Amino acid sequence: MLPPKPIRLVLAVPAACVLLFLGLDIWYSLEANRLAGDATTSDVCSTRPLRRPVLERCESRSRAAFAASASAAALALLVATYLALNWLTVRVWSGRLPFLTGCRWGYRIALGASAAAWIIFMAVLYPMAFLLTFMRFLGSYWLEFDNFMIGICLLSAVAGLAGLIRRDAGSPIPEDVHLTGVVATESEQRHLFLAIRQIAQFVKCDMPRNVVLGLDPAVICTARRVRVEGILLTVGTLYLSLLYHRLLSEPELMSLATIAMVPLQMVSEETENWVLTTGQRWARRRDRLDQAALPVVGIAMTLLWYWLDVWANWQANINGFAIRRAAVLTGRENVAGALSKAASLSRRWMPFLQEIQASLRRSEVQVAQLNLSSIFAARMTGLADELVSEVVPNPWMSGLGVDVNEIKRRIGDMQLSRPAEWIAGAESLEKELSMAQIKRMVFLREPMDSGPAVG
C-alpha cells in the first residue's frame, strides 16, 4: 500500500537530493581528474598540494558527498518514522495500546523526526542544492561565502524550529469550554432529563451529568470541564439550543442529541483535551507554513501534520458512527433533516445578532419586547424558500441514502411550533437569555463572537 500523497512528497525530497548530490559528486570528481591531467591517479583529491581549480572541485565533491549522506540519513529517518507511526496506529485500533498513550508516543516520534528533518532540509539540503548547482555553474567558487551561507541557514533553521515549537501566545489554548446559557436541573426539567436518559439508554452511553440551555444554535456534548457564567461543570455536559427546540421536530431534536452524546462514551476527558489542544496548538503554524512564499519550507513538518490528521479523521469517523446510531434511533430522514437545518440556522445566527446589535445601538427596537429566539425562528420560517435552495447533496446525506428532495421538503415545511414540551418554561428562559444576550451586545464594541464550540 502506497503512503498518502503528502508522505510521498516529503520522502521524494531527500530521495531526489540523494540522486542530485551523488551526481554532483561524480561530476566534480570527473572535473578534478580532467583539470589534473591524465598523468595523475584516479583519486586526484588525495594528492597534495593541489592547484586552485582542482582544489575547488575537490571541495565541491566533498560537500556533495556530505550532502548525499545527509539526504540518505533524512530519507531513512522519515521512512522509519512513517513505519513506526503506522505500527502505533494499528496497535491503537486493535486495542493492544491505550488510545491516549498511542497518541502521545506517535506525536513525540513525529515531532522529533519532523524537527530533525527541518534542520537537515533547511541547513543542508536546500542551501547545498543552491550552492553546488546554481552558484558553481555560474563560476562562483568562493568557499568562504559558501560557509557563511551554510552558517546563516543553520542559524535560521534553529531559530525557525524554536519559533515553531514554542507555545504561541497569540493563540491561547483554553483548558475549559466556555458556554453561555442556563444550567438546567432535573427538578425543574423532568421531561428534558427523561428524554436524555432514554437516549443514553438506547445508545448505551453514560448520561451527561449536566445540561445547559442556551440560544446559540448548537447541540454539543463534551467530557471536558465547562464554565457557564462562572459555574464549573464536570463529568460530562450537554448543551441544547432553545432555537432548535422551536424549529426542529422531536425526532430531529433527538437526532442531534444522539449524535452529540455517542462520542462521549468513546472519548475520555483526558483524550478529548489532548486531541483538541494539540490540534489547536499547531493550527495557526500550519496555516502560516502552507501560505508561505516558499511552500517547500513546511514540507519537513509533513509527518507531524500527518499524525495530527490521523486523529482529526478519527474524530470524523466517530461523528459518522454517531450519525448512523442516530439514524437507527430516529430514522435516516430525521437525521439528515436535522443536520441540514442545523447547518442553515447556524450560518444565519451571527448575521442576525449583528443586525439586532446595530438596531439596538440606533434605538430602533424596544429591548423589553425582544425575544431573540422567537424573532429568529419567525425570520427563518420566512426564508424557507431561500434555505431550501441552499440544500445540496453531501457525503453524509449520500451515506444515509436519503433523497435530497425529501430534505428540501422538510426545510420548506419548517414551522414555529415546538416539537414537544421537553423544556419547561421555555418562553421565560428565552426571554431571560435574550436579555443577557442584549446586554452583551449593547456594551460590546467589537463584533459578536461565534457560538459555543468544544475546541
CB 89 within 8 A of CB 310: yes
Whole-number percent of the chain with pLDDT over 90: 6
**How far is residue 329 CA from its own chain's centroid?**
30
Q: How far apart are CA 95 and CA 93, in angstroms?
A: 5
Q: How far apart are CA 383 and CA 375, in angstroms?
A: 13
At residue 447, the pLDDT reads: 44
Would the pLDDT of 325 be above 80? yes
CB 36 within 8 A of CB 54: yes
Would the pLDDT of 419 be above 70? no
Burial of 351 (0-12, 13-18, 19+ CB in 10 A): exposed
Would the pLDDT of 449 be above 60? no
Would the pLDDT of 326 be above 50? yes
At residue 278, the pLDDT reads: 82
Give the domain ranges of the chain.
5-165, 177-265+328-443
**180-231: pLDDT as tens digits:** 888 888 888 888 888 888 888 888 888 888 899 988 888 988 888 888 888 8
Higher pLDDT, 129 or 256: 256
Q: How far apart are CA 78 and CA 419, in angstroms?
A: 56
Residue 51's pLDDT band (cuts 50, 70, 90): low
Q: How far apart are CA 170 and CA 348, in angstroms?
A: 28
**429-440: pLDDT as tens digits:** 888 888 888 777
